[in-house]
Each structure stands twice: as C-alpha cells, then as structure tokens.
Amino acid sequence: MRNLLLILVCVGLSTCSAVPTLLTQVLTLGELRVVTRNSPISHYVGVDGPMGPEYELARGLADAMGVRLTIYTPDSFDQTLDELVSRRAHIAAAGLSVTSARRRQVDFGPAYQTVRPQVIARSGGRQAGSVEDLVDARIEVIAGSSHAEVLLELRQAHPQLAWQPVQGAEVDELLYRLAAGDIDFTVVDSTEFIVARHIYPDLRVAFDLGEAEQVAWALSRQPGDHSLRERVNGYFAQIEAEGVLAGIFRRYLEPVQEYDYVSTRAFVNHFDSRLPMYRSYFVEAARETGQDWRLLAAVGYQESHWNPQAVSPTGVRGIMMLTQRTATALDVDDRVDPYQSIMGGARYLSMMRERIPERIDEPDRTWLALAAYNIGWGHLEDARILTEINDGNPDSWEDVRAHLPLLTQRKWYSRVRRGFARGWQPVHYVDNIQRYYSILQWMTASERWELPDEDDEAPQYEIYGSVGTAAGAP
C-alpha cells in the first residue's frame, strides 16, 4: 500500500497515458495519507483514540473526499518533508510554518494559523532579552525546524550565535532538558507554549524570536498539477466559512488560555505526589461508570486538589466533596475515605449525565453534567430555560454557559422555578475541569490505546509510528 502511488505513476508512464493527478491518485487509492507529529496542538492519542486539531482537520478532509484516512508520525521531525517528496504521504498536517526553504520542496495549502517563535528560558536560570544575550549560551532546537532556519538567518548579523540542532527529538524533550537545567534556552512556537507552560510552570518566555509565521499544511508536489492544492484550498474555505475551523482550535486551546503560575505548579506537584495514590480508584470508578478516569481525576482535583481530608465551610467533604445528603443517597458511609468518595462522585456524575436528554451529544453532554454536579440539576434546568427564552440553544454548553450567571439577577431568576443561584460558580467550575482534563490527557497520552480489529466497522483511520504526549517541532 505504501508504494501504490509510485505503482500508479509507473503504470501511467508505461501505457503512454498521462500521469494521474495527485487528487486522482488519492481517490483511486481510496486513501488519504497524512504525516503528522505528536503534539497537544497537532495530534495525540487520547482515551478514545486519535485527537488534536490537525487530526480533526485531516479526518474532515478525508470524510469530505469519501476516502480512508491513514495518519502516522515519522521517526523524527526532520523526516516530515521527506515523506512528501518521496510520495509516501500526500499531506503533512504537522503545524508547519511556511518558509522559503520549505517552499522549494513542497506546496502549501492556505494559512490557518499565525504563530510567533519564542525563546524559552528557565526561571532562576540564564536570562535573555535579545539575540545578543544568546551568544555563548547552551541552545537546542529541533533539527529541520523553522526555528533552526530563523537562527541561521540571525547568525548573519550575529556570527558568534551557536546552537545544537537535535535529531529525532521533540519539543517536549527539549523543554524537559531546559527545566532540568541541562540547557539554557530552546525555541518554541507561541501556541505550543500556551500548552507547555501548564506542564513546565518554571519555564517562561524570554522574548519573541523573529517575525510572526504562518502555519499551513504542506502538500506533495507534482509538476503542473495543482489538483490536491485546489481541493485542500476549497476544504479550508468551506470549514472557515462554516466556523468549523475556529471551533476546532477553540476546543483545544481555549481551556488552557488562562494561566496562573502558582496553581499550575501546584497541579504538577500534585500530579506527581498525590495522584499516584488514588489513580487506581479513579480507574476503577471509570470502569464501573463508563467514564474517562482522567475526567474523574480532573473533577477530584477541582474539588479538593486530591486531598481526602478536604472540607468546605458548608460541610462538603472528601476528594469529591460530597454533601452528607448526596453521600447517604449513594451509600457512601465515610466521605473522607478516598475510595468511597471517588466511587460515590463518579456515580453521582454518571447520574447527572443520564439525566441529560439523549439528543444532546458529546462534549456538551459532559459539560452540562459537570455543571449539574456543581450547581444542582434544578438550577441547570433553570439556566437552560433562560437560554431558550433568549433564543439560545439549551442543548449547547456554550449557550447555557453564557446564561448561567443570569441566575444571580432578580429580573431573570424570578422567571424560573428555583430562583437565585450563584450561576458564575459552575462556569468557573467547568472551565477549570476542562483545563485539568486537557492537561491530564496530554500528560498521560503515551498510555497505549488499542486499535479495533480490522473487521470492526467504525474507524476510518490508522496510526503508524510512534504516539505519545510529546509536543512536536514547529
């Protein structure tokens, strides 16, 4: 299958007929081959299989074309363009910056994102405010990345500037080495660091390096053939007009836009020190209730920071902060017993989810259930009624989220059954859980996810090569 593209070309030549266009080759194969990279903002394997903005975009194009999606990662980032040049892949959906050097090898689709290359430093380590401050520093970047190209250009004005291009590494590995003090600086795209700072709270942006860069898909090139590029251009034009493109990136990046150093550092510390003691309980609770253990763990962290002795001024207790009434209904005898609390909280969230109308799909179903877990089912229903009154969609979490704070205003809460409620609380509650859940997914994404058997109907994708949590190169 890997060499079928070349076979098609050879057949075309041997019969003296025109070489099939790239688009024709994809449709004839019934397969769109996409090379990508492991990154929270590109592609990674979550609990339900492949995830990430680039994966969703590639899957959408394959579905629109009516072909199978085969998505894979090369052994190292610097092999990405080679996959296109050798025709082993049709598209590189890998968060690639559009550079003049890359344009000499491949075509590009329309730009769908703008990023800024940023020099990253360690708090308490060597600091820098300009390129001059990087001279004689220990700098590592991904070999073959656009960052290496930028540094090469800057060296014309700063001949003493030196760095180490690292073959086969990912950005996550370089950030780890930076956090450990093994190097002084590395370079990361701004969108990647929005995510990475939640995992490495002691790292900070030193300064922007060079100009902003456009990000686009790279496409295999065939002389005189623009068919694949035109198809990709049309696809992006459609999903941009429909709001799908913005929605995909919003889902992945919005939960981690807010950042607080102290709380992030605490989360990372608790991930290492507290979560291992209770992880098996979250896994068992997830298995019993059919939920993702990472979601349950995110709830537990939001409620108590995984502290089984936690108690609020209102008397709720334990890791999942159950009220006495809820605990009694769930047959939880000891709210500060971590096992009982986690199992009880998981069951209660499952109960809230079951009360959500069946017509509501994920992820809205989960976010609405979490809001009910926090504020109560009745107040959630009141907010949904207010959403409908104001011509919003009561089945959309985004619409309901905008109307929950109205429960604090007399002119609105007087119109619903249960009256006043601190409606801003579930908004912050769900926002925080979304952020913790995203981070937990990224930090545990290297855990193996088994693909279904070939006879199973559903997935129209395959995973080849390595998968993991590592943030990829730009």
3-state secondary structure of 46: strand
Same domain? 416 vs 343: yes
Count the neighbouring beta carbons within 10 Å of the beta carbon of residue 436: 23
Q: Which residues contact 327 (CB under 8 A, 6 or more apart)?
A: 333, 335, 344
pLDDT band with cut points at 50, 70 and 90 for residue 304: very high
Catalytic member of 303, 362, 381, 457:
303
435 located within any domain: yes
Q: Are 365 and 356 spatial neighbours (Cβ–Cβ below 8 Å)?
A: yes
Q: DSSP string covering 163-199, please?
A: -EEETT--HHHHHHHHHTTS-SEEEEEHHHHHHHTTT
pLDDT of residue 371: 96
Q: Are 463 and 68 spatial neighbours (Cβ–Cβ below 8 Å)?
A: no
Same domain? 292 vs 344: yes
Residue 451 pLDDT exceeds 50: no
Within 161-317, where are the H helices?
Answer: 171-179, 190-196, 227-241, 244-253, 261-273, 275-289, 293-304
Q: Which residues contact 125 (CB under 8 A, 6 or more apart)?
A: 178, 181, 184
3-state secondary structure of 418: coil
Query: What is the pLDDT averaged over residues 179-194?
Result: 91
219 located within any domain: yes
30 located within any domain: yes
Same domain? 266 vs 403: yes
Domain count, the chain: 3
3-state secondary structure of 115: strand
Which tokens in the block code for residue 132? 């001059």
Query: In this predicted model, what pLDDT tens digit does every residue of 347-368 receive, in sequence order?
Result: 999 999 999 999 999 999 999 9
Q: CA-to-CA distance for 148 and 187, rounded, in angstroms?
A: 9
pLDDT band with cut points at 50, 70 and 90 for residue 458: very low
Q: CA-to-CA distance for 196 and 247, rounded, in angstroms?
A: 21
Residue 467 pLDDT exceeds 60: no
pLDDT of residue 17: 55
Determine whether 132 is exposed, middle or buried from the number of CB atoms within 10 Å of its CB (0-12, 13-18, 19+).
Answer: exposed
Which tokens in the block code for residue 325? 């009434």
pLDDT of residue 78: 84
Q: Which residues contact 138 (CB under 8 A, 6 or more apart)?
A: 164, 182, 183, 184, 185
* Vertex 199: Cα angle to 274 and 252 (nearest 5): 115
The percentage of the chain sitting over the pLDDT mark of 70, rounded to a whole number, equals 88
Q: Which residues contact 33 (CB under 8 A, 6 or more apart)?
A: 70, 72, 88, 89, 90, 91
3-state secondary structure of 45: strand
Q: What are phi and psi of 218, to 5 degrees?
A: -95, 145
pLDDT band with cut points at 50, 70 and 90 for residue 46: low
Same domain? 226 vs 277: no
How far is the first Cα of the chain from the last one, in angstroms, to the nearest whole number? Answer: 29
pLDDT band with cut points at 50, 70 and 90 for residue 454: very low
Query: In this predicted model, what pLDDT tens digit does every residue of 61-96 receive, in sequence order?
Result: 999 999 999 999 888 888 899 999 999 999 999 999
Same domain? 269 vs 392: yes
Q: Are 349 and 330 spatial neighbours (Cβ–Cβ below 8 Å)?
A: no
pLDDT band with cut points at 50, 70 and 90 for residue 461: very low
20 located within any domain: yes
Same domain? 151 vs 298: no
CATH number reported for the structural domain that contains residue 77 in this entry: 3.40.190.10
Same domain? 132 vs 191: yes
**Positive or negative, the Cα torsion across 190, 191, 193, 198?**
positive
469 located within any domain: no
pLDDT band with cut points at 50, 70 and 90 for residue 446: low
Residue 49 pLDDT exceeds 90: no
pLDDT of residue 210: 83
Same domain? 337 vs 424: yes
CATH number reported for the structural domain that contains residue 367 in this entry: 1.10.530.10
Name the residue range of residue 457's domain.
Answer: 4-110+215-256+451-464
Q: What are phi and psi of 216, to 5 degrees?
A: -155, 165
266 located within any domain: yes
pLDDT of residue 250: 84
**Mean pLDDT of all residues belonging to the chain:** 86
474 located within any domain: no
* Vertex 460: Cα angle to 455 and 462 (nearest 5): 85
Residue 33 pLDDT exceeds 70: yes
Whole-prediction pTM: 0.67
Same domain? 132 vs 82: no
Q: CA-to-CA distance for 306 and 377, rounded, in angstroms?
A: 24
Residue 53 pLDDT exceeds 60: yes
Same domain? 143 vs 221: no
Query: In this predicted model, what pLDDT tens digit does every residue of 205-250 receive, in sequence order?
Result: 999 998 899 999 999 999 999 999 999 999 999 999 999 999 888 8
Which tokens in the block code for residue 205? 């942006």
Same domain? 284 vs 411: yes
Total length of the chain: 474
Active site residue 303: yes
470 located within any domain: no
Q: Give me the amino acid identity at 436.
A: Y
Same domain? 306 vs 348: yes
Q: CA-to-CA distance for 76 and 143, rounded, in angstroms?
A: 9
3-state secondary structure of 323: coil
